[in-house]
Structure 1
Amino acid sequence: MEHPAYSQLRPISPSVGVVLCANPSYSSLEGTNSYIIRAEGDSRSIVVDPGPEDEGHLNVLHRNAGEVAVILLTHRHGDHADGAHRFRQITGAPVRAFDKTYCTLGAEPLADGERVIVDGVTPQVEVVATPGHTADSVCFFVHTGDGGDEDVEGILTGDTIAGRHTTMISETDGDLGKYMATLRLLDERGRGVRLLPGHGEDLPDITVMTRKYIERREQRLTQVREALATLGPDASVNRIVDEIYTDVDPALRHAAEQSTRVALRYLREHGEIPEAG
């Protein structure tokens, strides 16, 4: 079975399968990837990112997941998390997230470095804080045992690595500097490990995307620096976008403006341009 495959479980590795939600868009590509973690013979499962509140998708997810021990969220955005409350009602399983606001049934918030270990599920899920896209973003390293990185079967990245295109940095609590550090961490720990992204197709080696993402971010920062050198340090976001994105699709201009504002904030924080008056 190949990607995309809606409304059915697509096995990816011995311990991980994915159910693709039919919510395609520019940002979500073919849709949201909802993951089921369970080894052969396991009596229970762990579900990651049940997706939007789509009753059909949640029912398909439940049918394939069987008895769900816990629901984990990579971050708060609706296309990953809005269905969590309803899925909790369907399954009776608690929801756990890095931000305690999104936890249910008295569940503890996720902690960086924690191993999620539950009865009836063989794989262990390591929680790795990966701020940048949002402050509450985490990645999940699926371990086949209780060892180190040598037994990681795959890394679930949510929107930290979202698929074919680069991810947006939230203007409310995202941070480009932290995001670059996150990408370098994943590049170092993920060599040869399968990428299991929040959107798009899985890849056999996560570093193919981490290096692409790092290069793209560094390229954009260089372009903003050059635009400021040409236009002056007080240049508006619109003028900088016009200078850099010479052929941007009008439908995507808001994304270019957001990316530019995030880059300007990064450069100010690092003392490369003066604080806005």
Structure 2
Amino acid sequence: MEARWLSVGPVQENTWIARQDGSDKALLIDPGDEPEKLLQALADLGTTPEAILITHCHFDHVGAVKAMAEATKAPVYCPAGEVFMLEDINSFAFPGLTFENYTPEHTVKDGDKLHLAGFEIDVIGTPGHSPDHVTYSIPADKAIFSGDVLFQGSIGRTDLPGCDHATLMASIQKLLDTLPDETGVLPGHMEPTTLGRERRSNPFLNELARP
């Protein structure tokens, strides 16, 4: 898998473009802002999204969904329990920021399996940072697009409406219990990491059971 990220918007969210090496079909994950920048990156790579995948519907992850869906004609896959947020983005955005709402073509939930852009993708329910957050796992490449669940040395915040710390920690525990340590974590903010690195060194995981 070839994956690269562009940090966009006021809180530097990571929008990911992933494809099989050299493919003209890609996945676009969490287009948060700056659609012109994202479109230019796709053009530079010579690829087009076959699908737009959303991990969760906080404004910084979905602010450019409408623009990118209309420009690329790619269908949008949204966590079923957060469609209401995508359809009313500005009610959940920081004051002074304005984005365009969108109704997704598809919804996803824990346990779904997707076949898109040459990838087999497992949808893993990972709520806590948001009500119906999901993680997209690509087992063949030992990689997850984890949104705002787990970061390098940190975890997703749980002081927003619909967040819950205990639920988030249970979601992280599920990832650690079911995926190998070498799994690459391709997050919604900051640098990539691995599950093993975070298991060993992330201070926020001290409360979790460890082998």
TM-score where L is the length of structure 1: 0.61
1:93 aligns with 2:83: no
Contact 1:50 1:87 in 2 (8 A): yes
Identity of aligned residues (%): 24
The residue number in structure 2 matching 1:263 is: none
Contact 1:100 1:108 in 2 (8 A): no
Tell me the distance in 1 between the aligned counterparts of 2:192 and 2:46. 19
Q: State the secondary structure of the residue aligned to 1:60.
A: helix
Pairs within 5 Å for 1:134-173: 134-144=130-140, 152-173=141-162
Tell me the distance in 2 between the aligned counterparts of 1:197 and 1:210. 15
For residue 106 of structure 1, report the CA deviation from its aligned partner. 5.9
1:130 aligns with 2:126: yes
- Distance change (3 Å), C-alpha of 1:171 and 1:111: same
Q: Which has the larger share of helix?
A: 1
What is the root-mean-square deviation in Å for CA atoms of aligned residues?
2.4
1:175 aligns with 2:155: no
Q: Which runs of 5+ in 1 are unaligned?
A: 1-14, 145-151, 220-277
Tell me the distance in 1 between the aligned counterparts of 2:105 and 2:58. 19
For residue 37 of structure 1, report the CA deviation from its aligned partner. 2.1
Q: How many residues align?
A: 187
The residue number in structure 2 matching 1:198 is: 188
Q: State the secondary structure of the residue aligned to 1:179.
A: helix
- Distance change (3 Å), C-alpha of 1:92 and 1:156: same
One-letter amino acid of the counterpart of residue 181, structure 1: A
Q: Which has the higher contact order (CA 8 A, sep 6+)?
A: 2
The residue number in structure 1 matching 2:94 is: none
Tell me the distance in 1 between the aligned counterparts of 2:52 and 2:185. 20
Tell me the distance in 1 between the aligned counterparts of 2:111 and 2:55. 14
The residue number in structure 2 matching 1:207 is: 196
1:62 aligns with 2:42: yes
For residue 56 of structure 1, report the CA deviation from its aligned partner. 3.1
Larger radius of gyration: 1
TM-superposition CA deviations, 1:198-224 (whole Å, max 9, x none): 111112x21322562321xx49xxxxx
Contact 2:3 2:17 in 1 (8 A): yes
Tell me the distance in 1 between the aligned counterparts of 2:8 and 2:125. 28
For residue 22 of structure 1, report the CA deviation from its aligned partner. 4.3
Q: Which has the larger share of strand?
A: 2
Pairs within 5 Å for 1:257-272: none
Contact 1:134 1:170 in 2 (8 A): no
Q: State the secondary structure of the residue aligned to 1:117.
A: strand
Tell me the distance in 2 between the aligned counterparts of 1:68 and 1:23. 20
